[in-house]
Structure 1
């Protein structure tokens, strides 16, 4: 799997939401290898789009389509500034990945010097789910320099906030402190999925 994270400042949220929905209805059927996406806006007007493809090659083939270029130009015209793109070939699904049933999604972006350590911490899905039953699923996408984007799906924000209050075991807390040391959290209170 390949994940592309698209992020940028956006105050024209209704128009961008409609344009992303248009892409899903008009362009996704012919986008070979497209698997889906998680979308939303933060309280400080950041668009976060986490888009999944079968492979980097499938994503590149989609980007090369003329109709995709024309659509992307329309999206850029609605943004408040340039979009950032983060491409990740190193993708891990946690508890079967995200969930289209999520009422709240948290996107966590950070950087680690040992991606395998981060993946090992998150590999024990059974223990993770026992400790945090509020998590419906997640994806972890890692860039070559160790920058990661974790997209975590929750039933609701209330469930997520209650789960945050649970004190993890000491060894888990140590690993969380390592992974989340300089991480930034993006709350998507009204996510949508495709």
Structure 2
């Protein structure tokens, strides 16, 4: 799987939401290897889109389509400033990936040195079920420099907030250190009203 993260400030959320829906309805059927996407806005007008393809080649082929270029121009016209794109070939699914019935989504962006340990920790489903049963899926996308984007789907925001109050479970010190490093200087993007698209 290949993931592209799109992020930028937008104070015209209704228009951008409608434009993303237009892409799903009109362009998605011809998009090679497109699997789906998770989208939303934070309270401070940050738009975040996490788009999934079956490979980098498919994503690049989609970007080269004439109709995709025209759509991207319309999207850029709605943004308040520069837009960031992050391409990730290293993708790990948590509990089979995201869920389109999630009531709340949290995006975490940060950087770690030991990416293998982070992936192992995030895919320990027994641990996740024990500590945070309200988590129903997610993806972990890692860039070459160790920058990661974790997309976590929750049953609801209320359940997520309750889960945040729990103490960390007993675990080896190496895993605790990975968690501390992951959360150090990480940025959290709360999507209170996420929406989804699937192939």
TM (normalized to structure 2)? 0.95
Among candidates 157, 167, 182, match of residue 185 of structure 2: 182
Shift of 1:169: 2.0
CA RMSD of aligned residues (A): 0.9
Q: Alignment partner of 1:179: what SS?
A: helix
Shift of 1:114: 1.4
Q: Given the superposition, is the C-alpha separation of residues 84 and 59 from structure 1 closer, same or farther in structure 2, using an over 3 Å criterion? A: same
**4+ runs deviating over 4 angstroms:** none
Q: Give the alignment of 1:20-59 within 5 angstroms.
A: 20-59=20-59
CA distance in 1, matches of 2:56, 2:129: 30
2:61 aligns to what? 61
2:100 aligns to what? 100
CA distance in 2, matches of 1:109, 1:42: 14
1:150 aligns to what? 150
- Cα deviation 1:67-93 (Å, max 9, x = unaligned): 000000000001001110000000000
Q: How many residue pairs get matched?
A: 194
Shift of 1:2: 0.1
Q: Structure 2 unaligned runs (5+)?
A: none
1:5 aligns to what? 5
Among candidates 189, 194, 198, match of residue 191 of structure 1: 194
CA distance in 1, matches of 2:123, 2:51: 22
